[in-house]
Copies of this chain bind each other. A is one copy, B any other.
Amino acid sequence: MAHSHMISLSSYVLLLFLGCLAQLGRPEPRLGGKTQCNIQKLNAQEPSFRFPSEAGTGVQGTVIPGCAETFESQGESFSGGQEQPGKGQEGSKGGQEGQRQRFPDRHQKLRRFQKGDVLILLPGFTQWTYNDGDVPLVTVALLDVANEANQLDLQSRKFFLAGNPQQGGGKEGHQGQQQQHRNIFSGFDDQLLADAFNVDLKIIQKLKGPKDQRGSTVRAEKLQLFLPEYSEQEQHPQQQQEQQQHGVGRGWRSNGLEETLCTVKLSENIGLPQEADVFNPRAGRITTVNSQKIPILSSLQLSAERGFLYSNAIFAPHWNINAHSALYVIRGNARIQVVDHKGNKVFDDEVKQGQLIIVPQYFAVIKKAGNQGFEYVAFKTNDNAMINPLVGRLSALRAIPEEVLRSSFQISSEEAEELKYGRQEALLLSEQSQQGKREVA
């Protein structure tokens, strides 16, 4: 996302800035969507710290302007956090609020997410996330600043509605800018805001939170959020299909806005085995989310791929046709080689859990899982990212006449046939192919 507003309430977010210089560490300015790319060496990157963690769940809110508040919460719990309903109402307030108690709190849709979910964060929209589980939540986020949704420059601009982000990690200070980084209310005049909100100045001062020492991620008491159970809302594939056929999301750019956006599909689980798009019982499985599954991805020009490679399996060497790919290792390790268009190796190393590697468009890559297998998620900068395999049943070589291969590579007809038919598997290749060189058609 080019730009997202987050009130993060105890998640850890690794932010990736995708650009062709992203991994070179050079401070060159990024110019336009198409920068000067002289990529001679890629590096794998790691987060600075890590949680040993079980799978967690969380609650996420995306505010879509103009949409109705269609969710209700009880709204009877007050500053004390976990008081029993009915008591807090009288305890902490004066008599002037006799009328208020009858109303539940209303707000926009809340979304529960869990391990394996891909969440779409709409650029420029308000986001907040709350971990109501007992274990840390680990999320991996791609921010595509070159996306056409971003009309400004190639910098990520994260801004805050609450809190005091400069207390967070001091990250902003690294950039040599002496400007403060406070929440968005801080820049406005107190009285103007008080007039606009029609509230007392005291509340405005709290809104600006100048003494808030908590940074961008804050520890919250147990929040009483009411939302439908995950199982009811998300796992009926039939409902999801209907939503898609309705065309929500796709219309974002060209149709009437508010009505369709209000019910837009913003998440999909790509970890479930039964949702695999590519499956080889000897080598692993791959699940993708693209604009066929989440239509609004067509306006964001993004997609994702979740891969499970079994022990020593190989992802067929291929190049990215129409997208960059940012691969994050979720579990295990693999040997990865990346080759540029001139046949030069720009990466050849073991990558392991928590590391990230970017494979640019038009670069070729091969991945071989280690003994423990290899799990990753890859984000791609096209809503229908395509790859061109060099090996296997879907390979370029297989699509070319034997005669042409023979002449191009100066090989015999038998060798050409071995290149075309030596692997009957498609994308995920098992360690030792047990199949014959060529099946009877």
Closest 8 CB pairs of A and B: A32-B32, A187-B339, A159-B341, A182-B343, A124-B321, A162-B408, A186-B343, A108-B399
Interface contact B34-A152, CB-CB below 8 Å? yes
Interface contact B404-A130, CB-CB below 8 Å? yes
Given A65-B388, A193-B366, 14 other A-B residues pairs in contact with their CB atoms under 8 A: A9-B404, A9-B408, A33-B151, A36-B153, A61-B400, A78-B412, A107-B398, A151-B361, A162-B408, A184-B390, A188-B339, A196-B392, A199-B422, A257-B384
Residues of B within 8 A of A151 (CB): 33-34, 146, 322-324, 361, 381-382
User: Is A233 close to B, CB under 8 A?
Assistant: no
Tell me the minimal C-beta distance from A23 to chain B in angstroms. Answer: 14
Interchain CA distance A35-B34 in the complex, whole Å = 11
User: Is A111 close to B, CB under 8 A?
Assistant: no
User: Is A239 close to B, CB under 8 A?
Assistant: no
The one of B36, B110, B321, B366 in contact with A29, judged by C-beta atoms closer than 8 angstroms, is B36
Give chain A interface residues in 140-197, CB to chain B under 8 Å.
146, 149-155, 157-163, 172, 179-189, 192-193, 195-197
The one of B20, B97, B391 in contact with A196, judged by C-beta atoms closer than 8 angstroms, is B391
User: Is A235 close to B, CB under 8 A?
Assistant: no
Interface contact B126-A400, CB-CB below 8 Å? yes
Tell me the minimal C-beta distance from A245 to chain B in angstroms. Answer: 13
Interface contact A182-B433, CB-CB below 8 Å? no
Pairs A–B under 8 Å by Cβ, sample size 24: A29-B36, A36-B153, A37-B153, A63-B396, A65-B321, A65-B394, A73-B403, A78-B406, A79-B406, A92-B412, A92-B413, A99-B438, A125-B321, A184-B364, A189-B366, A192-B337, A192-B366, A195-B431, A196-B366, A203-B411, A206-B415, A207-B419, A218-B407, A254-B291
Give chain A interface residues in 65-88, CB to chain B under 8 Å.
65-67, 69, 71, 73, 75, 77-79, 88
The one of B29, B196, B405 in contact with A314, judged by C-beta atoms closer than 8 angstroms, is B196
Tell me the minimal C-beta distance from A349 to chain B in angstroms. Answer: 12
Interface contact B388-A125, CB-CB below 8 Å? yes
Residues of B within 8 A of A181 (CB): 342-343
Tell me the minimal C-beta distance from A305 to chain B in angstroms. Answer: 15
Residues of B within 8 A of A163 (CB): 408
User: Is A418 close to B, CB under 8 A?
Assistant: yes
User: Is A209 close to B, CB under 8 A?
Assistant: yes
The one of B97, B187, B441 in contact with A344, judged by C-beta atoms closer than 8 angstroms, is B187
Interchain CA distance A389-B407 in the complex, whole Å = 50
Interface contact A128-B207, CB-CB below 8 Å? no
Interface contact B362-A187, CB-CB below 8 Å? no
Residue of B nearest to A183 (CB): B343
Residues of B within 8 A of A29 (CB): 36
Residues of B within 8 A of A155 (CB): 37
Residues of B within 8 A of A5 (CB): 396
Given contacts A198-B423, A388-B126, A417-B100, contact A343 B225 (CB under 8 A): no
Q: Which of A128, A153, A185, A391 has the most CB of B within 10 A?
A: A153
Interchain CA distance A221-B413 in the complex, whole Å = 14
Give chain A interface residues in 348-386, CB to chain B under 8 Å.
348, 360-362, 364, 366, 368, 381-382, 384, 386
Interchain CA distance A198-B393 in the complex, whole Å = 12
User: Is A90 close to B, CB under 8 A?
Assistant: no
User: Is A387 close to B, CB under 8 A?
Assistant: yes
Tell me the minimal C-beta distance from A338 to chain B in angstroms. Answer: 8
Residue of B nearest to A292 (CB): B256
Interchain CA distance A382-B299 in the complex, whole Å = 13
Interface contact B314-A192, CB-CB below 8 Å? yes
